[in-house]
Amino acid sequence: MADSDLMYLPIRELGARVKSRQVSPVKLAEVCLDRLEKLGPQLNAVVTVMRDFALREAHAAESEIAKGHHRGPLHGIPFGVKDLLATKGVPTTWGAEPYRKQVFDHDATVVTKLREAGAVLCAKLAMVELAGGMGYNHPDASFTGPGLTPWNTKFWSGGSSSGPGAAVSAGLVPFAIGSETSGSILTPSAYSGVTGLRPTYGLVSRHGAMALSWTLDKLGPMGRSADDCALVLAAIAGPDSADETSSGRLFPWSQVQKPARKLRVAVPKGCVEKVQPAVRENFEAALKQLADSITVTRDVEWPDLPWGPAVGAIVTAEGASAFLDLLDSGDVTQLKCPADKTGGYSGLLLSAVDYLHAMRVRKPMRAAMKKLFQSYDIIATPTRGTVAYAADKEFAGNYPGISSGPPVIAAGNLTGLPALAMPSGYGENGLPTSIAFMGAPFSEATLCSLGAVYQSRTDWHTKRPPAFA
């Protein structure tokens, strides 16, 4: 097996080889680090390669396993994290020039949990500056440059978790941790052709993560498969006294299980009308692959509520509050994207009434979604209505007349619902398309089980970008 092949193995298989000592954690780390250093810059995907740290952790894992102490399926497996997660003694830049030298004296809780599971942290991965908190309108909104999808490097890998999406897709790391406020796990998963899981709000501690919107932010795994994401979620979910929004719930996951019954799937009215033809065709093909596992109801009426304006107002207001010092100091002018240099000030102009109205409307939104999930188990949509945007254009210059923001983005984030994005085929310019499943709160096991069934019947998630294979 070629070294590169190791980075594309499913976590469960890779972990079994590590446990049986067929594969050395040190060897894995070295392959991962070499690919991060050599290929990461081609994708603008990497901020910091943690070679010395990773090799120490890998040697420790190898020694433990040799002594019969195996911590679980992640033991000895390399990973990367979006560079908004604190890592003790290593710069945590938030993707933004004013914070390029920022160093914390502690690890984020998710980093601690993954290290306790034996996983080996190899890199801090690139992101859109401040996770898009200043209202960016262009892929080139990070001091590392625009994240590029390995499937065609003229196109964007998606934001704001641009580095995690590209790094997993190109086989630089077996999995990575991203964050989502309004699409930042699902979008780069779609554009980069990987599987991404946005957990229920509060399932994963955010302690040690940069705060953009404290009522919307979530951390979750990005990997090659639904099973990969579930294995990682099992390690990072759980209570944390340092995060007052923690649900205290665990996510037990041992093996893939086919759903015990046919799942009721809703396809919202209009969600496949204004999308690219390949997106629609691949979405329909995906549902057909699951015909024996799901009962599909089409043209389900979507609750008529101000989803987009509400999420926009909340992110604007909470983001301005989170970065008030940056705005007051004028250091915001150091940001790269021109729109970001001024966009944050709009939050200071948003009235308290407008913010509170946006927060208040979330109660009927949650009630509406609760009612919907009384009739259906899963909502299925294309993850995005288009393939990846061009890396050298403002967003508005891409695919006019196409709807790119399905309900799994705004509605799912406002109501704190979990969602799973998976590759579904290819569209324009050889770029990946993606299907998303969204479920009721804490239904991650159902989403991952159905996702695993889909991926057992298709091979889109196993494909490698030719230039990085």
Report the catalytic residues.
82, 160, 184
Beta-bridge mates of residue 209: 85
Alpha carbon of 296 to those of 335, 374, 457: distances in Å?
46, 15, 18
Q: What is the DSSP string of 211-231?
A: PS-TTT-EEEEEESSHHHHHH
Alpha carbon of 457 to those of 230, 289, 453: distances in Å?
18, 7, 7
Closest CA relative to residue 385, chosen from 278, 261, 309, 243: 278
Q: List b or e across 339-365, with b for residues whose CB sees 16 or more CB atoms inside 10 angstroms.
A: ebeebbeebeebeeeebeebbebbeeb
Which pair of structure tokens corresponds to residue 104? 């914390």
Which pair of structure tokens corresponds to residue 375? 């009739």
- In whole angstroms, what is the distance from residue 150 CA to residue 299 CA? 35
Q: Helix (H, G, I), strand (E, B), or coil: what is residue 391?
A: coil
* Phi, psi angles (nearest 5°) of residue 131: 55, 30
- In whole angstroms, what is the distance from residue 18 CA to residue 26 CA? 10
Beta carbons of 232 and 11 less than 8 angstroms apart: yes
Which pair of structure tokens corresponds to residue 181? 């406020």
Given strand 263-268, what is the order of strands in its sheet? 46-49, 120-125, 78-82, 176-180, 218-223, 195-198, 419-426, 432-439, 378-382, 263-268, 294-300
Please, which residues have CB within 8 angstroms of residue 369's CB and are 6 or more apart in sequence? 303, 411, 415, 417, 440
The upper half-sphere exposure of residue 195, i.e. CA atoms within 13 Å in the direction of its Cβ, equals: 30
Beta-bridge mates of residue 432: 426
